[in-house]
Amino acid sequence: MRDGGHLQTGKVISFTYHVVGQETGFLGEIAILALTYSSDAKGESSDPAPPATMVLKIPTPLKNRVMGQSLGVYEKEIRFYSTLKEKLNIRTPGFYYGAMSATDDPDVILERLKALNRLPIWLIAIFGLIVQWIYGLMPRRYALLIEDVSHYRLGDQSAVCSDDDIKMALDSMASLHAQFWDNEELQSLSWVTPIELSAKLIHMGYLQSATKYLKENAASLTEDQLKLHAWLKNNGVALTERLGKKPVTLLHGDFRVDNLCFDDNSGEMLLLDWQTTMAGSYALELAYFLSTALPADASREKLDEMIEYYRHAIGLRGIQITTPALRREFDIGMIAIVHRISPILYQSQLELGTDRGPAIMQNWIDSAYQKAIDIELESILDAP
């Protein structure tokens, strides 16, 4: 707290904590700390009282930690809060302090990722196993202290999301996307991975779990869904690479209802959990969010209404997109969501818990399938 400038005098005498968000975030452990200070404790002149509570984020103790560390998600969130948060024109929790074990320079990591993406998928799979084995033996340490926002209304992916909340989220999304739309500053952030560099890694994850998924669920999948998976098997890499074509912008990467927080007094939304920040197509994030916010039985009219709301919102911020162009990009993004999440319950490297986690994931899968109905696959990647 002293290193972060939030405790000029005095000290922390004691603290208590309680863990929150079980089966909400799959890569991190979250605890709310309540701090007791000495009587002479003071913070910065503009905020003389140091915060009474704060959130601690550390890597999960589950085997998901190896995946998170190999993907660099813990390091990415600390870099976001320490270097980029203050520049955003949307609300996120306040930043107190972040620390991590010494790692390679982001530019070096980016060059390694570029080199890795040139390898065949089978070789990437072998390399990935070696990396995960090494990280399993030598886990690095990460810790992040941020503002406690639990007094606001937290989003709940297992409940119904109101139209007003969806529109508030879409306004924030449009602000974020417009701010970094083909922005040169985005290119200078080497720790923000261009999505196309993850194309083979994402498809490798799909191939590793899709075979078992399709075998055990073939009887319950429709003919169209089976055709979609046959298409994904052959076009999964090209699909993700397509999402890296211009225009690109800053993507939160996990823009779903569980990561939203609503300040009802000001009518504003806070966006939480910046572990998967990337650069890519706005439409992937739009499809990602609407597939979690609108249930599988949502009408086509409701989906069209929310897509059009986003188009209007980003238009107000200076980015003009035609309805046909947005709809085509959205369809590409929705197919990509099916590619990412449909077989995830069969991914051996990921633990989703036993109750809430698998339930919300299955609802998400059902919603994505429903929103991908009637998409013309044969020509979807031919768009300019």
Which CATH number does the domain housing residue 170 bear? Answer: 3.90.1200.10
Query: What CATH number does residue 6 fall under?
Result: 3.30.200
In this structure, is residue 114 part of a structural domain? no
In this structure, is residue 123 part of a structural domain? no
Number of domains in the chain: 2
Is 24's pLDDT higher than 60? no
In this structure, is residue 89 part of a structural domain? yes
Is residue 67 located within the same domain as residue 213?
no
In this structure, is residue 257 part of a structural domain? yes
Domain range enclosing 282: 161-384
In this structure, is residue 129 part of a structural domain? no
Is residue 36 located within the same domain as residue 146?
yes
**What is the average per-residue pLDDT within 196-217?**
92
**Is the pLDDT higher at 252 or at 119?**
252
Is 123's pLDDT higher than 80? no
The average confidence (pLDDT) of the chain is 88
**What is the average per-residue pLDDT within 264-283?**
94
**What is the average per-residue pLDDT within 324-333?**
95
Provide the edge-to-edge strand list for the sheet that holds 53-59: 12-20, 28-37, 53-59, 142-147, 95-100
Task: Report d(CA 222, CA 219) in Å as an integer.
Answer: 8
Domain final residue pick, 92, 127, 151 = 151
In this structure, is residue 120 part of a structural domain? no
Is residue 182 located within the same domain as residue 146?
no
Share of the chain above pLDDT 70, in %: 86
Lowest-pLDDT range of 9-18, 73-82, 162-171, 252-261? 73-82
In this structure, is residue 243 part of a structural domain? yes
**What is the average per-residue pLDDT within 254-278?**
94
In this structure, is residue 6 part of a structural domain? yes
Distance, first Cα to last Cα, the chain: 51
Q: What pLDDT shows up at residue 102?
A: 65
